[in-house]
Amino acid sequence: MKRLLYFFGSVVLATMIGSCGQTENGNGVDSDSIRTADSLAEVLRRDSIEWASFTSKDLTFFGVHGHVRTMFYGGMTYEFDSLGNWTKIDDVSPFGRKIDFYDSYSVFKRNAHGYIDHEEFWEGGGEYVWTDGRIVGENSFNCAYECRMSYEYDSLGNIGAVTMVESDDAGDTWSKPSRIEYSYKSFDNHDNWTLRKSTFGTEERFFVYYDDPRHSEPQTDFTPWDKEYIFSGNIGTEKKRHLCISKKGGVYVVNNGSRHTKIDNYNKQTGELIVSALRASDEKKLGEFKGTISREPLGKLRYKGTFTNTQGGSVAFNLVSD
């Protein structure tokens, strides 16, 4: 910030000096002002690149970059602090928590260098192999099964292929290597992938980012045209569902996967928001969320109303932003 203030002050001073007289070419702009303005532009450009490419050991673990606040992936939300440290998976800490029988979450541990390299779940565990600051392999196991995977990366730094061997008798007999290739179909404005496909099917991710304090003021109003939101809560009898929305679209969680979402209309005066639920394969409209956005304590937002499908069935929903 001090650096930017210095340059802004320099621009003002140079402008004042330049206005006292004409330059040799008579256009009233001297070369010092041009050089100062160019320097400021370069600083802003570098700051913008640094903000977008920000990473950490935990963000690298998930194959993402930038100042991610929340990631929705595989039906769960992952939260990070402003330094890029992973702090929550849904509503629990991923570190140091006791595993309960049939627990749906894992406990992760770091090595001496701060990298996440071990995972423990109720029936087994896993380890992650790091080389040159990124994961190159993963081994998972339980009492009767073991799987070893090695990763290959594409030119953009995303996993391009995984080679996998498996053993159903805990390491005595191994399968022939099988290869899984990934193709990336869409990315968000921060160049993190949001849709990829493989022989295992389709995977989707959705991100909410921290505001850049140097170039924008934090927004207190609901602004679906400028920001991303993850709402979670009750949809009908389902007690834990997620609805992700932004100008570019989002994800709506269903029992066997997800649907795409699209904002149809938002009335800032009344707070009414209409969001379509679309089939992922062909974007066919399958239903519509219609409700009102209201402000909650601590800056959260509540989205409450009725979801109606194209056959006429309807259920109430009550969601709060993460």
pLDDT band at 7 (very low <50, low <70, confident <90, very high): very low
| Per-residue model confidence (pLDDT) at position 217 | 62
Residue corresponding to tokens 């304090």: 213
| Per-residue model confidence (pLDDT) at position 123 | 85
| DSSP code of residue 112 | T
The DSSP element (H or E) to which 155 belongs, if any, is none
Contact 290, 280 (CB under 8 A): no
CA distance 258 to 307: 15
pLDDT band at 55 (very low <50, low <70, confident <90, very high): very high
Beta-carbon contacts of 161 under 8 Å, excluding residues fewer than 6 positions away, are 151, 152, 179, 180, 181, 182
Beta-carbon contacts of 123 under 8 Å, excluding residues fewer than 6 positions away, are 142, 143
Mean pLDDT confidence for 299-306? 95
Note the pLDDT tens digit of each residue in 191-213: 999 999 998 888 999 999 998 77
Note the pLDDT tens digit of each residue in 148-170: 999 999 999 999 999 999 988 76
Question: What is the percent of the chain with per-residue pLDDT over 70, rounded to a whole number?
Answer: 81
| Per-residue model confidence (pLDDT) at position 24 | 47
| Per-residue model confidence (pLDDT) at position 38 | 56
CA distance 7 to 63: 35
The DSSP element (H or E) to which 157 belongs, if any, is none
| Per-residue model confidence (pLDDT) at position 142 | 85
Mean pLDDT confidence for 281-304? 93
Could you tell me whether strands 183-187 and 193-198 are parallel, antiparallel, or unpaired per DSSP bridges? antiparallel
Which range scores top for mean pLDDT: 18-27, 30-39, 269-278? 269-278
* Mean pLDDT (the chain, rounded): 85
Which of the two residues, 93 and 22, has the higher pLDDT score?
Answer: 93
Range of lowest pLDDT (35-49, 71-85, 207-221, 266-280): 35-49
The DSSP element (H or E) to which 90 belongs, if any, is none
| DSSP code of residue 84 | S
pLDDT at 173 over 70: yes
**Given CA atoms 112, 114, 117, 120 in this order, what sign does their dihedral have?**
positive
pLDDT at 12 over 50: no
Distances (CA, A) of 318 to 119, 235, 240, 260: 34, 7, 10, 19
pLDDT band at 293 (very low <50, low <70, confident <90, very high): very high
pLDDT band at 226 (very low <50, low <70, confident <90, very high): confident
Residue corresponding to tokens 């998972």: 140
Measure the N-to-C terminal CA separation of the chain; round to a whole number of Å: 29
| DSSP code of residue 12 | H
The DSSP code sequence of 42-81 is HHHHHHHHHHHH---HHHHHTT--S-EEEEEETTEEEEE-
Could you tell me whether strands 193-198 and 314-321 are parallel, antiparallel, or unpaired per DSSP bridges? unpaired
CA distance 99 to 280: 35
Helices (H), 20-165: 31-53, 57-61
Q: What is the pTM of this model?
A: 0.79
CA distance 317 to 239: 10
| Per-residue model confidence (pLDDT) at position 285 | 95
Beta-carbon contacts of 42 under 8 Å, excluding residues fewer than 6 positions away, are none
Which of the two residues, 51 and 177, has the higher pLDDT score?
Answer: 177
160 by Cβ neighbours in 10 Å (0-12 / 13-18 / 19+) ranks as: middle
